[in-house]
Structure 1
Amino acid sequence: MARVRHIRIENFRSIQLLDWHPSAGINCLIGPGDSGKSSILEAIDLCLGSRRTVSLTDADFYLLDVEQSISITITLGELDDSLKSMEVYGLYLRGYKAQTRAIEDEPEAAAETVLTINMTVGSDLDPVWTLVSARAEAHGQSRYLTWSDRARLSPNRIGALADHNLAWRRGSVLNRLSNERADTSAALAKAARDARVTFGDAADIQLGETLQIVTDTATALGIPTGGKPKAMLDAHSVSFSGGTIALHSADGVPLRALGVGSTRLLLAGLQRKAASEATVILIDELEYGLEPHRVIRLLGSLGAKETPAPLQAFITTHSPIALRELRGDQLFVVRKQVSAHYVTVVGSVDDVQGDHSASS
């Protein structure tokens, strides 16, 4: 699935300008507080996310200058066949040359076929998403991704709140694990108490593959779920709609009751299992809620030691544990110099992490 080849951010929060070609694997952003690390993750999420609405304020503009539009442009490579369809996106397909990092407006035989997405926000605070193409612009045409493609490309963001991802909602990691879908129509006709039991039995069959993946992942990461989790109707749902089906422990306790660290670790492991559907993952403050040995487990579940990397991860951290565990080419220092931000790879020398750990 798609990976980010290039990011350009203009006039967003503390960032006046950032131009960066990230790694296809782990991109761990380090640097002092308020250097713009979290803003980079937020920009990626805003541009590629599958939200129908986005809430922005004047404070999201660089120096509160709403006359200078926010612009976030992301070029995606490693596209699947549907995204390279000439019938759907022909005028918007572009070419990317990895050696020179040049992006051409037309695809070429010697270049990777890519799509470039832009989100622009003006003083009206109304974001507009478009696909970038000089050829389409010359023809007076403009379009964006189909909703289904937008949902598939949307990165998974692991934060402190995980209710969304621990239920079968649109865009949740559980929906990306397999093509299984549960039919809740019969169960929803019953009273909520009876429906929980009735649907729980049926879900073992309908969602068996996904539940087994959750079980294996939780076991491998040492996360207690009391046995094989169940998919049961959420008793706390006021109405039966999106998110009605949520993960519960073997005892029927919603898994959203897990600690923050366990939740983040489980979701990172599940995202790895769903890599064929969604490759990009965003984790702000990697170490939040995790003991040192669990930080190491989380990095392992992201494939930090594997080549090629199974996921493209954008991470922020202040943890010396993460600095020691990651290679120099997975660490990127964020700095502001004059009127622009720069993201610089630490290097590939084996002992370079130790120097940064000692100084952090």
Structure 2
Amino acid sequence: MTGISATATILKLKIDRFRGIEALDWNPAPGMNIVLGGGDVGKSTILEAIALLLSPSNALVLSEADFWQRKVEDEFVIQAVVALPPSSEIGQQQRFAWPWEWDGNDAVRPITEDDEESGRAASGPPVYRLQVRGTPDLEINWEIVQPNDDIDHLSAAVRRNIGVVRLGGDDRNDRDLRLVYGSALDRLLADKGLRARIGRRVSEINLAANLGDSAKEALGKLDGTLKNEALPSKLDLGLTSSQGLSIGALIGLMAESAHGVSLPLASWGAGTRRMTALQIAAAGEAETSITAIDEIERGLEPYRLRKLVKSLQAEPAQSFVTTHSAVAINAADQASLWYLDGSGHIGPLLREKIARQQERDPETFLSRFAIIAEGPTEVGFLSYVLERAVDGAFADHGVRVCDGQGNPATLDLLEAMADGGLLFGGFADDEGQSSGRWTELKAKMGDRLFQWAGGCTEERIMSLVDESRLEELIAHPDAGVAAERRVTLAMRLGIDNKSLPAIRTATEDFRALMIAAAIGSKEGAPDDETAKMWGRHGRRWFKFVVGGRELAEKMFVLGVWPSVKPDLLPFLNAVRAALGQAAISDVPHDG
């Protein structure tokens, strides 16, 4: 980024002691930013902080609830490093606002002659430090921090020129549909004399003449009392406005309904109001406006939600969005996704590592506790085990077991989620690849990451079944499935007789033969065509979700659980801990 910014862009946001956030330090991306996270972690507070910082009005009132833990004695500070276009008129402040320089991470003081002599180069484009403070006296101060650390007032005019379109999740989002100072409609019409003209016309209305007789009498008595006390008299009624309030706020957009009746747009549905407000903002000076939308899905059907997300992504203006909608996450294929945890840490979900999961299973990023399982076998296997290990239905606790689409993709996704600060789990095979990365990930995740000690789920479980019960791995309630499994064994041996006695006679290692078929091993195939056929054998065994469940059930029925318990139980207890459940010493394992 070089030169003067073409759009208003928050490059760095720092929040201290505002509402539910004690401290947050964040470098959002240009364009669309989607903030994800659990309930009550502060997602809406971030949007409220941006809206307060850029509020076009001074007529705001603070309360104790706006301060961290209601400690009013500790003022809150919301500061942003902002790149601004010329249309913001930041240079028209009463005192000149000197720019800082952006070094890619923060605002730094511009170079001086001494810096040039010492060889220090200019860091980057000009930016400004804007901040708002809530004082112990419950007052709000909007300020510009100069590069010499002087503090100057940030005028409401500049904040109005920057503009913020704030759509909250509480349905009170008709501000931008009315002529409120700094609203989207106000910036679109840009008629500074309109309020005065409205006021003059309203003043021509004889409001007192419309009073009832008793009201006229009361007003007359008051007029006489004031006159006797040498106070202003000759009273009348008229519409007035006060600081921060305007008669224009009574003027709003109207639209014709399907029945031909003109109604205020503020009375239409939540989704329609939101879409209209954003269209008004887009029709104005889009290079200055910043958009903040809480629960973007509110009031919108899926098709309109997708359209809204796509349109925000296409806009050059910066936007900040929260959502609990899988549709919104799926549609946001060009947005920057962030995860906010309960400690106020916000981290990126790197698109190159999560894109496949974002498209296939966006609910992964909305779960209370997502577990990325390597493939369909692991999804089914783990789901069955969790049903025994977790108190109540695990899905009702917000646990989602997700298909990671293979070992390399699972590793990428788990790393991205770890970097993003998500609370999650992982369940994977050990394919002998990327051991350093897996070790580093294990150090971050602890017992929330489970990886078999060599090999895959099928290998590990089947290798522990007693020799006398191996044939029970082939058995299935559907006789056709059991027959298909025998066919895969016979094919690998190159024999026509598909009976178990014949298969056992033809091999020296019945267990190894079954494992090779169950994992779809191609080793030893005489040609490419046969290798392809052998690679599909796993689908006849456990390589699908239902097959994974079958394998888990057989782990308990065939007495394998005691052997894998030392490895699996710490992981299961880590899941329970994430749900607030006490650790267990065993999982029910009766047949």
In structure 2, what is the equivalent of residue 265 of structure 1?
275
> Which stretch of structure 1 is more off in the superposition, 104-113 or 77-86?
77-86
Question: Which of 104, 120, 127 is matched with 1:114 structurally?
Answer: 127
Aligned 8 A contact 2:32 2:318 in 1: yes
Name the counterpart of 1:68. Answer: 74
Deviations 1:336-359 (A, max 9, x none): 34xxx2221211223141444245
Structure 2 distance, partners of 1:359, 1:67, is 37
310, 319, 322: which one pairs with 1:313? 319
2:508 is matched with: none
The secondary structure found in structure 1 opposite 2:49 is: helix
- CA shift, 1:20, in A, is 0.4
State the alpha-carbon separation in 1 of the partners of residues 334 and 93 from structure 2: 42
- Separation in 1 of the partners of 2:342 and 2:364? 22
Q: How many residues align?
A: 303
When residues 351 and 167 of structure 1 are mapped into structure 2, their CA distance, relative to the original with a 3 A threshold, is same
Q: What's the counterpart of residue 326 of structure 1?
A: 332
Q: Could you say if the C-alpha distance between residues 82 and 298 of structure 1 is closer, same or farther in structure 2, counting changes exceeding 3 Å? A: closer
Distance 1:74 1:280, change over 3 A: same
Q: Alpha-carbon deviation of 1:314?
A: 0.8
Separation in structure 2 between the aligned mates of residue 136 and residue 359 of structure 1, nearest angstrom: 41
Deviations 1:29-50 (A, max 9, x none): 1111011101111111111212
Gap change, CA 1:103 and 1:242, over 3 Å in 2:
same
Find 2:160's aligned residue among 147, 151, 161: 151
1:44 is aligned to 50
- Tell me, which stretches of 5 or more residues in structure 2 are unaligned? 1-6, 112-120, 207-237, 241-245, 367-591
Residue 173 of structure 1 corresponds to which residue in structure 2? 184
Contact 2:17–2:68 (Cα < 8 Å) also in 1: yes
Q: CA deviation at 1:87?
A: 8.2
Question: Which residue is 1:127 aligned to?
Answer: 140
2:352 counterpart of 1:351:
no
Distance across 2 between alignment mates of 1:135 and 1:355: 50
* DSSP 3-state at the match of 2:288: coil
Q: What are the within-5 Å matches in structure 2 for residues 22-37 of structure 1? A: 22-37=28-43
Q: Give, in angstroms, the shift of residue 89 of structure 1.
A: 5.6
Single out whichever of 271-280 and 39-48 deviates more from structure 2: 271-280
Tell me which of the two structures has the higher relative contact order, counting C-alpha pairs closer than 8 angstroms and 6 or more residues apart: 1
AA in 2 matched with 1:351: R
Say whether the 8 Å CA contact 1:30–1:317 is kept in structure 2: yes
Whose strand proportion is higher, 1 or 2? Answer: 1
C-alpha displacement at 1:136, in angstroms? 5.0
CA–CA separation in structure 2 for the residues paired with 1:128 and 1:272: 29
Is 1:12 the counterpart of 2:18 in the alignment? yes
- 1:92 counterpart SS class: coil
1:103 alignment partner in structure 2:
107
User: Distance in 2 between the 1:277 and 1:26 partners?
Assistant: 14
Distance 1:106 1:5, change over 3 A: same
Answer yes or no: is 1:53 the counterpart of 2:52. Answer: no
Query: 1:272 & 1:93 partners in 2: Cα distance?
Result: 27
Match of 1:342 in 2: 345
- What are the superposed Cα offsets for residues 81-122 of structure 1, whole Å, 9 maximum, x if unpaired? 664639866453111122xx1311227854111111122223
Do the aligned partners of 1:272 and 1:311 also contact (CA within 8 Å) in 2?
A: no
CA contact (8 A) 1:72 1:119 kept: yes
Tell me the amino acid that sits aligned with residue 275 of structure 2: L
Q: CA deviation at 1:180?
A: 4.7
Aligned to 2:308: 298
72-81 vs 29-38, greater mean Cα deviation: 72-81
Matched, 1:282 2:292: yes
Q: What is the TM-score normalised by the length of structure 2?
A: 0.47
Q: Distance in 2 between matches of 1:265 and 1:104?
A: 38
Q: Partners in 1 of 2:140 and 2:74 — Cα distance?
A: 14
Query: 1:320–1:190: structure 2 CA closer, same or farther, 3 Å change rule?
Result: same
Alpha-carbon distance, 1:279 to partner = 2.1
SS in 2 for 1:124: coil
Higher alpha-carbon Rg: 2
SS at match of 2:101: strand
Counterpart Cα distance in 2 of 1:86 and 1:179: 18
Query: In 2 relative to 1, CA 154–86 (structure 1 residues): closer, same or farther, beyond 3 Å?
Result: closer
**Residues 92, 131 of structure 1: 8 Å contact kept:** no
Residue 131 of structure 1 and its aligned partner are, at CA, apart by 0.9
**Corresponding residue for 2:262?**
252
Q: Tell me how far 1:186 sits from its aligned partner.
A: 7.2
Q: Which string of whole-angstrom CA distances, capped at 9 and with x for unpartnered residues, describes residues 283-309 of structure 1?
A: 11111111111211221332x1x3xx4
* 2:16 and 2:78 in contact (8 A); partners too: yes
Query: What is the one-letter code of the residue matched to 1:97?
Result: D
Alpha-carbon contact 1:91-1:133 (below 8 Å) kept: yes
Partners of 1:334 and 1:342 within 8 A in 2: yes
Equivalent residue, structure 2, for 1:92: 98
